[in-house]
């Protein structure tokens, strides 16, 4: 059994590491967002003391920056380990990585809007309510859109990282042939 697990890990090591560090990145970026919103809401809040749009925006910006930096360095150090090394290569990779993440952000945004419009406007989607005991969870079109766009973006980011950002020189032409 353990040998079988090791064999599966060896066969899919890159993808397993990518998903594992993606989970770590998500957790750290959400914590950074939460801390930023809490701190910012001491200054920017509504009449009830809840965070306003400025505090929420600062949290989202912090979440994105922390997410990109953590993802970049974990991918470089532990996922795509045979990428080019050195300060010059690292800065170039960080620039391309950040740019690609901006690009996939807009892809995610467009997919979200498209799925929400498709479900709500075209199909008149009626979201089921799932009782969880302490609260009700609405399985809205926004949830479906987020799930679908997240899957597409994770796959897109993986291939951009593998084939463009963290490749050795001439690796792309070898892998595409």
Query: pLDDT of 35-60, one tens digit each?
Result: 999 999 999 988 888 888 898 999 99
Q: Two tokens at 104?
A: 């996939």
Q: How far apart are CA 83 and CA 73, in angstroms?
A: 12
Q: How far apart are CA 138 and CA 160, in angstroms?
A: 34
Residue 25 in contact with residue 67, Cβ under 8 Å? Answer: yes
- What's the pLDDT tens digit per position in 164-175? 999 987 655 555
For the chain, give every domain's residue range.
1-79, 84-177
User: In the prediction, which pLDDT does 175 show?
Assistant: 54
- What's the pLDDT tens digit per position in 81-131? 999 999 999 999 999 999 999 999 999 999 989 998 898 888 787 778 888
pLDDT band at 177 (very low <50, low <70, confident <90, very high): very low
pTM: 0.82
Supply the DSSP symbol for 24: H
What is the arithmetic mean of pLDDT over 127-149? 82
- DSSP per-residue string spanning 61-73: HHHHHHHHHHHHH
Q: Torsions phi, psi of 131, nearest 5?
A: -75, 130
Q: How far apart are CA 140 and CA 147, in angstroms?
A: 11
């Amino acid at each position: 059994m353990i040998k079988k697990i090791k064999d599966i890990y060896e066969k899919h090591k890159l993808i397993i590491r990518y998903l594992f560090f993606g989970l770590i990145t998500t957790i750290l970026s959400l914590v950074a967002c939460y801390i930023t919103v809490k701190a910012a809401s001491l200054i920017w809040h509504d009449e009830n003391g809840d965070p306003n749009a400025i505090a929420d925006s600062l949290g989202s910006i912090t979440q994105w920056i922390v997410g990109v930096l953590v993802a970049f360095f974990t991918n470089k150090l532990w996922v795509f380990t045979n990428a080019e090394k050195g300060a010059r290569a690292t800065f170039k990779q960080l620039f391309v990585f950040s740019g690609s993440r901006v690009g996939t952000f807009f892809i995610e945004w467009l997919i979200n809007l498209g799925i929400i419009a498709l479900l709500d406007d075209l199909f008149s989607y009626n979201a089921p309510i799932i009782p969880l005991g302490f609260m009700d969870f609405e399985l809205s079109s926004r949830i479906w859109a987020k799930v679908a766009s997240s899957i597409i973006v994770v796959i897109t980011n993986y291939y951009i990282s593998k084939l463009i950002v963290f490749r050795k020189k001439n690796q792309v032409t070898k892998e595409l042939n």
